Chains A and B, each alone.
Chain A
Amino acid sequence: MATQASPSSSTFTAPQTQTASLPNRILALIPGILLLAAVGYAGKFIEQFIARYGKAHHLTLPNIEYVLWAILIGLVISNTVGVPALFRAGVATYEFWLKAGIVLLGARFLLGDVSRLGGLSLVLVIIEIALALTFMTFLGRAFGLKPKLTTLLAVGSSICGVSAIIATQGAIEADEEDSSYAIAAILALGAISLFLFPLIGHGLHLSDHAYGLWAGLAVDNTAEATAAGALYSDAAGKVAVIAKTCRNATIGFVVLAYAIYWASKGQAAGVQNKAAFLWKKFPKFVLGFLLISTLATVGFFTKPQLATLGNLSRWAFLLTFAGVGLRTNLRELGKQGAKPFIVGAVGEVAIALITLGLVFGADHWFHL
């Protein structure tokens, strides 16, 4: 990739000495990606080992999915010895693998299923976003948070966590400090929901579809929503991805609305080209997912090839789940202050309850 210095800028850039070349940047990712693979594979190994041990000794042991093991191993590493600098760039690629995995997952859905599930999800997502944004805004005001921090928390909890916060921060010109508070709150709550959601789902005897829809609607970050779904069952994981993808698809519209709102108050730059803005913010992996799903529907792939693509998607998710654990440093999250966390937590509990109500309603009317 070329590095250009803006001619209008007075800033002198020295690309020869300070910008790593593309091959070097790719090389720098390798240790971290290998760590993701090692942690993820260790999770898979433990799951299989327990199953084999139980079978060999005629014991009924709980089947704990590799997802949970990978996240736990990652959490232990990041919260004890920490992730050394050498690995950090590669570990940060876990979102890249998540998106590649979602695109490949399209092979396991026929377009009819996508439109049925996606259509229902989209209706629920619109209701969820409207309620969540209203409630979080009210809560932020009640707790006396800064208005832009409230906006970031509202967007993070109603749409798609960290990506939405980062997209909104740029659009409304919020402080980096506010954005790091909001991100910390959303990540901490995402980590908690990973463990709570499956327990609640089992406690309420939710079907795979109902649970997946709930996880996709209520868990904020895409990686955590995917993991929370997969922790319940494979089918629930797939539904969670569809519901979450629908939420992600709305990001551009909500960020645009907030950008216009803050610009009207004279606290952010206006949006000149709305169509270009929407395209820039639109998550492209949604289009990739739909393309692969279309190809699968029209018979472009044979049945064994579809199975292979499904497995490739699982490997990509394995790297993602390892990354979820490895990038979660509870001590760092705790340093960010209590108020945004409390607002986020109260909001998340309310959103979880609202979306659970929506899912029960959808289950009643549409028999999920």
Chain B
Amino acid sequence: MSTSIPQPDVKVATAPRLLSLDTWAVLLALAAALLVRFGVLKTVSW
């Protein structure tokens, strides 16, 4: 007779976001603005 061990559900773990997508977008934009302000990113043409 085999002993059946209840198997826990295995779900794909979704990592909790430290910051929202919004906040990441703001941080990226601010970082780009600072790079421009302090001359690291000199010109971006269109």
Contact = CB atoms under 8 A, between A and B. Distances in A.
Interface of A: 1-5, 10-15, 18-19, 95-101, 103-104, 107, 283-285, 287-288, 291-292, 295, 300-301, 304-305, 308-309, 311-312, 314-316
7 contacts: A5-B13, A11-B11, A96-B21, A97-B25, A98-B25, A103-B26, A284-B23
A65 to B, nearest CB: 13
A95 to B, nearest CB: 7
A322 to B, nearest CB: 16
A14 B13 contact: yes
Given A104-B33, A285-B22, A288-B25, A14 B10 contact: yes
A104 B10 CA distance: 42
Contacts of B44: 308, 311-312, 315
Given A14-B10, A15-B13, A288-B25, A308 B30 contact: no
B45 to A, nearest CB: 6
B26 A305 contact: no
Nearest to B46: A311
B9 to A, nearest CB: 6
A305 B13 contact: no
A101 B25 CA distance: 9
B28 A305 contact: no
3 A-B pairs with least C-beta separation: A288-B26, A103-B29, A99-B25
Contact of B33 (A10, A15, A19, A295): A295
Which of B22, B24, B44 counts the most chain A CB atoms within 10 A? B22
Interface in B11-38: 11-18, 20-26, 28-30, 32-33, 36-37
